[in-house]
Amino acid sequence: VNKILKYNGKFILICNVILIICTIISLLLVNVTDSLSIIFAGIFIFYMLIFLFIDIVNRLRSMIALKKYNLNEIKEELASDSTRKLDGVETYLTENYIVSNATVIRITKYEDIKWAYLYIYLSSRGIIYTPVNMTFNNKIGKYPIAAYLKNGNGMRVILAVVKNDKQLKEVYSAITKKNKKVLKGYTKENIKEYAKNDKIFRIENKINNILPWGILI
């Protein structure tokens, strides 16, 4: 249980170590005053700062997730025999919560979910993009499940990441057992239903429709 609720930043750490090594090599292979070596070193340092920023943000988001709910209750539910772990991904379906620890710890109460759907970019050229954090860890999965919460102020969150339709349906099933009124899937009907009482979402949806790379489904 403690391992499940521990922030895992190994991927970002590995990336930064590689970038540090590349920076040192770029400065050693060629004279330090050589413009090419300085350019490469600058590029590596730039990406190091990006990964450092991502790591800080992920740590803060994980800390917020752990403080939002009663941690003792979460631990008890994770340790329960009724808790279901999705095969091959760090997603756990407890009695009352979805707990995910792909790259960031996320804890969501089923009853708090207003609308959930698979988060995919479908471009005009027919190419599908999934906005998942870069990773070499195949336990992360492929497709993120996005959601809007009842008191989320129009902000989209990622509940978990799944590998296939079977796992998606399993998450949907767990939610609907506790939340009969949840909207499932990115459909026109659900867009209209959610947009009725959420001005921020209506603005966001208009922007998404204008953008050239496609729509969210």
pLDDT in tens, 42-76: 888 888 888 888 888 888 888 888 888 888 999 99
Please state the rounded mean pLDDT for residues 152-169: 80
List own/partner pairs for 120-126 with CB under 8 A and 24 or more apart: 120/216, 120/217, 121/213, 121/214, 121/215, 121/216, 122/214, 122/215, 122/216, 122/217, 123/213, 123/214, 124/212, 124/213, 124/214
Lowest mean pLDDT among 6-10, 29-33, 82-86: 29-33
Q: pLDDT value at position 126?
A: 42
Q: pLDDT value at position 196?
A: 79
Q: pLDDT value at position 89?
A: 85
CB 86 within 8 Å of CB 65:
no
Tell me which of 106 and 40 has the higher pLDDT. Answer: 106
pLDDT single digits (tens) 94-131 = 999 999 887 788 899 999 999 998 876 544 444 444 44
CB 216 within 8 Å of CB 120:
yes
Q: pLDDT value at position 93?
A: 94
Q: What is the dihedral of CA 120, 58, 61, 70, to 10 degrees?
A: 100
Tell me the pTM. 0.71
Q: pLDDT value at position 66?
A: 87
pLDDT single digits (tens) 199-214 = 666 666 665 554 444 4
Q: pLDDT value at position 122?
A: 46
Q: pLDDT value at position 175?
A: 92
Helix (H) or strand (E) holding 136: none
CB 75 within 8 Å of CB 4:
no
